[in-house]
C-alpha cells in the first residue's frame, strides 16, 4: 500500500529516539518524505521558507514543548501545519493545541490509518496554504510593480468610484484615468473590476481610510 | 520490767506522763537510820510534785520497800509488781494498794528439767538460809512431794565454801535446782543470781533456776517470770488505778505460770540437743547467726530482690508486648506504605505513558513498516531485520519498565541491603523525569563525587524519594514555568550519615504547619490523603534515620532525610 506521495515533507519532532526512528521508518515506507528532529529547538533552527509539508511533533519534550513549537511556528514566515502525537491523551492540552490551530491530535498508539489520515490531511492543508501563500505573494509582487498614480487610481476603483469621480478626486483628465485602469488590469493580470476589488481585499489593501 | 511497764503505760495514756525513778538498795541498807535517810531525802525531793501513783518493783528488803511509800505519801495509790508471793510487801487487801504477784513456777521448772534431760532421776535443791529462802524452799518441797519418778535432795545447810566443792561431785542423771538463796548457812548475804554464777562453772551437772535474773549466770534455765509480760501487765493495772479505780477494788493478780527460758550456751555446754527445747521456750544468748542478726535486713533485701525480679519480669513482658505492638504497627504501616506506593505510582501517569507508551508505540509503527517492506517485490529483508532488532529493544525496554513497576507494586516487608545511594537517586530521577517534563519542572540531581554505600530497602527508599519529588513538583504548579526547579541532592555529614535533600521553589510550608507535616492524615493538598509523609517517616525511622521538612531560602521548601552508613541495630 503505497500512498500517493503528497507534496512536501513530514518533519517529525520527538525526543524519544526509538519512537522517532520507528515512525519515520513507517512513514518513509508508506511513501512519504521524512525529516527527523530530536528537539523543537533543532527544528526551529533549521526551519526555512522553502520547507513544505507538515510537522508531526511530540507534545512533551524537554526544553520547548509541542505547544510552544506550534506557537513559534505560527509566528514564523513558514507556518507549517502541526499534528501532535502524544504518549497519552491530555484533554486540556488537546484543547489548547486545537485552538492554536493544530491540524490533528493523535496518540502514539493510534492506528496507522488514523496516523496516515492525519498526516495526509495535514500535508494537503499544508500544500493548500502554501499555494495560497504563493499566489498572494505573486499578486503582491505585481502590486508592488504599480506606480504611485496607478495605486491611487486602484484605491478609487476599489472604493467604487466611477471614472468621472476619480478624475475629479485626483484632479486628472478622464482619459488619463482610463489609461491607468487599462495598465492596472494588465499589470495585475485581472479581467474585470470585481476581480480587481477581490484582489485588493485579499491583500488587505486600503484598509486604512486615507481620504475623507 | 520497769521499761516494759513504762512503755505500756505511755501507750495506754493519752496524756504525757512524767516518770521519776528511785533505785533504793534496801537489800543492803535495812536499818532504821537508812530508812530515815531515804524518807527524808525522797520526801524533800518530791515535796513540790503532785504524784499520781507509786509503782513498786520490790527487791532486797521487801518490807522496807513496802513501808516507804506509806511513810512518805500515804495518800498516793501504790501498785507493785513482785516476782514472788513471798516477797509481797503488803498484806493482801490493804487500802490504796494493789499489784501483781508472780510466783515461782516450781512445777514448770521441774517439767523443763525432765524435758531437757529425760534421764534425770535425782534433783538436788539448793536454797539459802534467810526467812524468805525458807518460805521459798517449803514451796519446792511441797511440789516435790507430788513427783515420784525423781528423788529430791535438799541442800540448805551448807556454807558457800562447802557448796562450791560438793557441786563438783554430783553424778550424771542429777540436776541442780537453785531455789531462793539470799543468805548461806554461815550468814553471808548473797543473791540467787550471784549464787548461780558461782556454782555453775564448778558444778558437774546442770543447774536450773526459777528466777529470771539468774538466767545467763551459767544456769541452763528454768520456768521464770516473764519480766516483759509482768511489766506490761503492771502498766495496764497502773493505768486503771490512775484512771480512778480504787486500788483496793482492783484485785491483786497472782500468776503461777512462768515462761520457759534457757541459756543456749549452757545447753551447748551440757550437750543438750536443740530439739528438746519446748516450742514456747525463750532461748537466750544464742550467738547471732547471720539470719538472726540481720533477719529484717535479709528479708528486706530478699523482698527487694523478689520485687526487682518481678519488676524485671514484668518489664520484659511489657517490652515484649511493646515490641509485638510495634512490629504490628510497622507491619500495618508497611501495608499502608504499599497502598500509598501504589497511589504514588498512579500519580506518575506521565512516567507510565512515557515509559510504556513510547516503546509500545514504536513497536506498533515498526511492525507496520515491516509489513510494508514485506509486501515489496522483492521484500526488503535487510530493512526488516533491523526493524526486528529495534522491536526487540523496545520490547525489552517496556519489560524493564514493567519489572520496575512490579517491584514497586509488590507487597513486601523491609529488606535491608547495602545500596549505592547514587544509583538509587538516579533511578528516582529517571522514574520521575517524564512527569517532571509533563509538569515542566526542571529536575536537577546534585551529587558529590563519591557517596558511601547506605544500608536500606531499595523499594521503600525509592518510595520516599518519589513521594518527596512528586510533592515538590506539585508544590510548584502555580509557579512561573522558568522558576520550576526541583533539586535532589546528597551530602555526607560530619557524623558519617548521608543526608538526602529534595528542595523545591514553591510556596513553602506555612510556619504553623511545620510541626504537623509528618502526622498521619495531615495534608495541604485538596485531594491529599495525608499519608505520604507519615509513611516516609515510618520508612526512614525503620532505617534508623531521621526526616524533616523546613522552608528554604529564599523560597520553597526542603525535605531532608538521613541514613546511617553502617548497618543499624535493626
Residue B47 sits in the same domain as residue B111:
no
Residue with cell 526459777: B210
Per-residue model confidence (pLDDT) at position B560: 92
Residue with cell 496516515: A116
Tens-place pLDDT, residues B454-492: 888 888 888 889 889 988 988 888 888 888 999 999 988
Residue B219 sits in the same domain as residue B154:
yes
Domain-embedded: residue B242: no
Helix (H, G, I), strand (E, B) or coil at B261: strand
Q: Does B390 contact A18 at a Cβ distance shorter than 8 Å? A: yes
Residue B570 sits in the same domain as residue B485:
yes
CB B344 within 8 A of CB B431: no
* Surface of A (97-126) touching B: CB under 8 A: 107-109, 112
Q: pLDDT exceeding 90 applies to what percent of chain A? A: 25
Q: Does A60 contact B437 at a Cβ distance shorter than 8 Å? A: yes
Per-residue model confidence (pLDDT) at position A3: 46
Mean pLDDT of all residues in B327-353: 71
For the purposes of burial, counting CB atoms within 10 Å of the CB of B357, is it exposed (0-12), middle (13-18) or buried (19 or more)?
buried
**Residue B155 belongs to what domain range?**
106-224+258-291
Confidence of residue B296 (pLDDT cuts 50, 70, 90): confident
Residues paired with residue B500 on neighbouring β-strands, in sequence order = B490, B561
Q: Which of A22, A30, A88 sits opposite B349 (nearest CB)?
A: A88
Domain-embedded: residue B313: no
Confidence of residue A1 (pLDDT cuts 50, 70, 90): very low
Residue of A nearest to B355 (CA): A87
Distance of CA B26 to the CA centre of its chain: 55
Q: Which of A16, A25, A108 sits opposite B369 (nearest CB)?
A: A25
Whether the per-residue pLDDT at A208 is higher than 80: the answer is no
Residue B63 sits in the same domain as residue B195:
no
Q: Find the CATH number of the domain harbouring B422.
A: 3.30.565.10
Last residue of a domain, one of B56, B73, B102: B102
The reply to whether A71 touches chain B by the CB within 8 Å rule is no
The reply to whether B350 touches chain A by the CB within 8 Å rule is yes
**CATH number of the A145-203 domain:** 1.10.10.10
* Cell numbers describing residue B447: 551529587
Whether the per-residue pLDDT at B15 is higher than 50: the answer is yes
The reply to whether B362 touches chain A by the CB within 8 Å rule is yes
Mean pLDDT of all residues in B278-285: 86
Residue B73 sits in the same domain as residue B121:
no
Other beta carbons within 10 angstroms of residue B556's beta carbon come to: 22
Whether the per-residue pLDDT at B569 is higher than 60: the answer is no
Please state which of the ranges B87-91, B162-166, B263-267, B438-442 shows the lowest mean pLDDT: B87-91
CB B505 within 8 A of CB B476: yes
Q: Which of A28, A61, A87 sits opposite B358 (nearest CB)?
A: A87
Residue B84 sits in the same domain as residue B184:
no
Residue B535 sits in the same domain as residue B509:
yes
Q: Residues of A with CB below 8 A from B366's CB?
A: 22, 25-26
How open is the CA angle B107-B227-B247, to the nearest 5 degrees?
100
* Surface of B (452-481) touching A: CB under 8 A: none
Q: Find the CATH number of the domain harbouring B96.
A: 3.40.1380
Mean pLDDT of all residues in B40-56: 84
Residue B149 sits in the same domain as residue B94:
no
Tens-place pLDDT, residues B347-388: 666 667 777 888 888 999 999 999 999 988 888 888 899 999
Residue B129 sits in the same domain as residue B274:
yes
Sign of the Cα torsion B152, B156, B159, B160 reads: positive
Confidence of residue A83 (pLDDT cuts 50, 70, 90): very high
Q: Identify the residue with better confidence: A206 or B448.
A: B448
Domains of chain A, residue spans:
9-139, 145-203
Last residue of a domain, one of B244, B267, B291: B291
Residue of A nearest to B384 (CA): A25
CA distance B204 to B222: 18
Whether the per-residue pLDDT at A177 is higher than 80: the answer is yes
Last residue of a domain, one of B79, B102, B125: B102
pTM as predicted: 0.47
Residue B117 sits in the same domain as residue B265:
yes
Residue B469 sits in the same domain as residue B563:
yes
Residue B110 sits in the same domain as residue B186:
yes
The DSSP result for B146-208, as a single string, is: T--SSEEEEE-S--HHHHHHHGGGPPTTEEEEE---SB-TT--B--HHHHHHHHTTT-SS-EE
What is the distance in angstroms between the Cα of A22 and the nearest Cα belonging to chain B? 5
Q: Does A109 contact B440 at a Cβ distance shorter than 8 Å? A: no
Task: From residue B130, give the alpha-carbon distance in Å to each of B133, B329, B560.
Answer: 5, 94, 106
Please state which of the ranges B120-134, B216-230, B288-302, B357-371 shows the lowest mean pLDDT: B288-302
Contacts (Cβ under 8 Å, ≥6 apart) of B460: B337, B414, B539, B542, B543
Question: Of all helices (H) and strands (E), which one includes residue B558?
Answer: strand B557-563
Same fold, A9-139 and A145-203: no
Confidence of residue B570 (pLDDT cuts 50, 70, 90): very low
The DSSP result for B456-497, as a single string, is: E-HHHHHHHHHHHHHHHHHHTTTS-GGG-EEEEEEEE-TTS-
Pick one of 2.40.10.10, 3.40.50.2300, 3.40.50.300, 3.40.50.970 as the CATH number of A9-139: 3.40.50.2300
Residue of B nearest to A60 (CA): B438
What is the distance in angstroms between the Cα of B485 and the nearest Cα belonging to chain A? 13
Residue of A nearest to B353 (CA): A87
Q: Identify the residue with better confidence: B119 or A4.
A: B119
CA distance A39 to A61: 7
The number of folded domains in chain B is: 3
CB A61 within 8 A of CB B437: yes
Per-residue model confidence (pLDDT) at position A210: 44
Q: Does A88 contact B434 at a Cβ distance shorter than 8 Å? A: no
Confidence of residue A2 (pLDDT cuts 50, 70, 90): very low
Amino acid at each position: 500500500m503505497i500512498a500517493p506521495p503528497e507534496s512536501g515533507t513530514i518533519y517529525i519532532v520527538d525526543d524519544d529516539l526509538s519512537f522517532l526512528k520507528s515512525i519515520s521508518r513507517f512513514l518513509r515506507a508508506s511513501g512519504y518524505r521524512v525529516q527527523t528532529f530530536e528537539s523543537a529547538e533543532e527544528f526551529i533552527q533549521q526551519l526555512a521558507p522553502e520547507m513544505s509539508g507538515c510537522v508531526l511533533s511530540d507534545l512533551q519534550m524537554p526544553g520547548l514543548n509541542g505547544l510552544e513549537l506550534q506557537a513559534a511556528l505560527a509566528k514564523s514566515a513558514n507556518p507549517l501545519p502541526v499534528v501532535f502525537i502524544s504518549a497519552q491523551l491530555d484533554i486540556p492540552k488537546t484543547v489548547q493545541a486545537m485552538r492554536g490551530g493544530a491540524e490533528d491530535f493523535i496518540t502514539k498508539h493510534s492506528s496507522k490509518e488514523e496516523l496516515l489520515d492525519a498526516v495526509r490531511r495535514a500535508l494537503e492543508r499544508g500544500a493548500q496554504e502554501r499555494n495560497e501563500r504563493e499566489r498572494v505573494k505573486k499578486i503582491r509582487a505585481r502590486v508592488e510593480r504599480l506606480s504611485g498614480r496607478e495605486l491611487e487610481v486602484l484605491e478609487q476603483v476599489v472604493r467604487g468610484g466611477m471614472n468621472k469621480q476619480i478624475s475629479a478626486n485626483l484632479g486628472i483628465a478622464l482619459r488619463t484615468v482610463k489609461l491607468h485602469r487599462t495598465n492596472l488590469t494588465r499589470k495585475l493580470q485581472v479581467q474585470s473590476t470585481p476581480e480587481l476589488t477581490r484582489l485588493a481585499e485579499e491583500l488587505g489593501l486600503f484598509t486604512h481610510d486615507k481620504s475623507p | 520490767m520497769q521499761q516494759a511497764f513504762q512503755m505500756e503505760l505511755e501507750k495506754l495514756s493519752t496524756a504525757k506522763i512524767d516518770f521519776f525513778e528511785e533505785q533504793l538498795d534496801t537489800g543492803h541498807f535495812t536499818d532504821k537510820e537508812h530508812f530515815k535517810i531515804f524518807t527524808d531525802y525522797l520526801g524533800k525531793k518530791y515535796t513540790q510534785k503532785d504524784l499520781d501513783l507509786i509503782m513498786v518493783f520490790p527487791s532486797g528488803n521487801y518490807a522496807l520497800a513496802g513501808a516507804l511509800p506509806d511513810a512518805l505519801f500515804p495518800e498516793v495509790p501504790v501498785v507493785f509488781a513482785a516476782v514472788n508471793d513471798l516477797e509481797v510487801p503488803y498484806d493482801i487487801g490493804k487500802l490504796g494498794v494493789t499489784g501483781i504477784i508472780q510466783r515461782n513456777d516450781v512445777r514448770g521448772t521441774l517439767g523443763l528439767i525432765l524435758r531437757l534431760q529425760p534421764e534425770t532421776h535425782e534433783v538436788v535443791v539448793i536454797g539459802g538460809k534467810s526467812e524468805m529462802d525458807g518460805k521459798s524452799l517449803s514451796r519446792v518441797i511441797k511440789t516435790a512431794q507430788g513427783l515420784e519418778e525423781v528423788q529430791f535432795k535438799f541442800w540448805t545447810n551448807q556454807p558457800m565454801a562447802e557448796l562450791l566443792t560438793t557441786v563438783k561431785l554430783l553424778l550424771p542423771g542429777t540436776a541442780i535446782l537453785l531455789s531462793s538463796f539470799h543468805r548461806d548457812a554461815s550468814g553471808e548475804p548473797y543473791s540467787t543470781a550471784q549464787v548461780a554464777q558461782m556454782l555453775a562453772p564448778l558444778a558437774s551437772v546442770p543447774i536450773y533456776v526459777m528466777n529470771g535474773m539468774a538466767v545467763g549466770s551459767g544456769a541452763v534455765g528454768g520456768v521464770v517470770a516473764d519480766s516483759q509480760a509482768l511489766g506490761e501487765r503492771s502498766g495496764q493495772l497502773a493505768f486503771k488505778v490512775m484512771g480512778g479505780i480504787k486500788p483496793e477494788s482492783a484485785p491483786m493478780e497472782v500468776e503461777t505460770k512462768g515462761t520457759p527460758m534457757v541459756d543456749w550456751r549452757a545447753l551447748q555446754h551440757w550437750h543438750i540437743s536443740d530439739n528438746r527445747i519446748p516450742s514456747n521456750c525463750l532461748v537466750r544468748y544464742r550467738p547471732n547467726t547471720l539470719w538472726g542478726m540481720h533477719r529484717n535486713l535479709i528479708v528486706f533485701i530478699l523482698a527487694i530482690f523478689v520485687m526487682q525480679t518481678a519488676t524485671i519480669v514484668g518489664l520484659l513482658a511489657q517490652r515484649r508486648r511493646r515490641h509485638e505492638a510495634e512490629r504490628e504497627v510497622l507491619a500495618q504501616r508497611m501495608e499502608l506504605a504499599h497502598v500509598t506506593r501504589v497511589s504514588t505510582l498512579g500519580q506518575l501517569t506521565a512516567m507510565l505513558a512515557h515509559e510504556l507508551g513510547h516503546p509500545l508505540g514504536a513497536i506498533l509503527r515498526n511492525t507496520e513498516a515491516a509489513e510494508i517492506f514485506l509486501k515489496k517485490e522483492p521484500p526488503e529483508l535487510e530493512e526488516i531485520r533491523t526493524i526486528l532488532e529495534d522491536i526487540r529493544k523496545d520490547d525489552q525496554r517496556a519489560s524493564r519498565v514493567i519489572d520496575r513497576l512490579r517491584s514497586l507494586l509488590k507487597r513486601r516487608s523491609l529488606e535491608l541491603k547495602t545500596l549505592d545511594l547514587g544509583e538509587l537517586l538516579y533511578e528516582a530521577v529517571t522514574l520521575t523525569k517524564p512527569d517532571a517534563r509533563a509538569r515542566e519542572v526542571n529536575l536537577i540531581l546534585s551529587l558529590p563525587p563519591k557517596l558511601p554505600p547506605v544500608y536500606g530497602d531499595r523499594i521503600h527508599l525509592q518510595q520516599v524519594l518519589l513521594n518527596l519529588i512528586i510533592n515538590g513538583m506539585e508544590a510548584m504548579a502555580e509557579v512561573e514555568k522558568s522558576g520550576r526547579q526541583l533539586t535532589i541532592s546528597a551530602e555526607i555529614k560530619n557524623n558519617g550519615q548521608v543526608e538526602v535533600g529534595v528542595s523545591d521553589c514553591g510556596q513553602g510550608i506555612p510556619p504553623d504547619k511545620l510541626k504537623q507535616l509528618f502526622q498521619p492524615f495531615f495534608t495541604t493538598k485538596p485531594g491529599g490523603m495525608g499519608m505520604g509523609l507519615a509513611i516516609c517517616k515510618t520508612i526512614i525511622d525503620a532505617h534508623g534515620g531521621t526526616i524533616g521538612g523546613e522552608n528554604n531560602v529564599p523560597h520553597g521548601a526542603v525535605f531532608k532525610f538521613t541514613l546511617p552508613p553502617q548497618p543499624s541495630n535493626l
